[in-house]
């Protein structure tokens, strides 16, 4: 990412909006925006295998592993406005488990891109499934979208919920129900 080019583009955008990029409050805005965008899109420059970095451990268990309430912050690809919420992950291992912090890092890696919530949910579940050859995976994301809250329909209390279920979570109603109950979103 060329930060200097981003700074130039932000300056041009300020001018197009009718602002003076040399006024006191905006002098460093192009630099700040470029730095923020560099951070908020760092997922494009993160490799999943390097991020996981041998934090997969042998563990013979067929119990469901759940990590709830992983905060996430992303930018919608349609308006480049933030959406934020929580991700809940469940998986049934087949002899290998993740170091728990790697699941949170995985959420961050995919969230720090221009995203659709639906795609983000799928990417996380697919990565978990493929990385440890899990028996099943369930991922649920509950998020609020500023593009829906601040503009357009202006619905401040709306929450979008997406889920991706793979393997036994898709095939078994009982497994899916257990996951939903454990993350506090029992269906029916």
Residues carrying an active site annotation? 76-79, 117, 145, 147
Residues 43, 77: Cα–Cα separation, whole Å: 14
Both tokens assigned to 23? 């006024």
- CB-based contact 137:125 (threshold 8 Å): yes
Token pair 């500023």 is found at 146
Q: Which of 62, 80, 66, 84 is nearest to 135 (CA)?
A: 62
- CB-based contact 2:10 (threshold 8 Å): no
Residues 150, 145: Cα–Cα separation, whole Å: 9
Distances (CA, A) of 30 to 17, 149, 181: 14, 25, 46
Q: Which of 134, 158, 136 is nearest to 147 (CA)?
A: 158
Count CA atoms within 13 Å of residue 169 on its CB side.
Answer: 27
């Amino acid at each position: 990412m060329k930060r200097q080019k981003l700074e130039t583009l932000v300056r041009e955008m300020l001018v197009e909006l009718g602002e003076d990029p040399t006024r006191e409050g905006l002098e460093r805005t192009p630099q700040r925006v470029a730095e923020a965008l560099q951070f908020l899109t760092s997922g494009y420059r993160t490799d999943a295998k390097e991020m996981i970095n041998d934090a997969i451990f042998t563990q013979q268990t067929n119990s469901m592993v759940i990590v709830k309430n992983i905060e996430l912050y992303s930018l919608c690809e349609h308006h480049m406005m933030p959406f934020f919420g929580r991700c809940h992950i469940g998986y049934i291992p087949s002899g290998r488990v993740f170091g728990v912090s790697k699941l949170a890092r995985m959420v961050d890696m995919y969230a720090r891109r221009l995203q659709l919530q639906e795609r983000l949910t799928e990417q996380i579940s697919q990565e978990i499934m493929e990385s440890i050859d899990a028996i099943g995976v369930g991922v649920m994301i509950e998020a609020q979208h500023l593009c829906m809250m601040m503009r357009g329909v202006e619905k401040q209390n709306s929450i979008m919920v997406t889920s991706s279920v793979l393997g036994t979570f898709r095939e078994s109603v009982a497994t899916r129900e257990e996951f939903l109950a454990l993350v506090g979103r029992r269906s029916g």
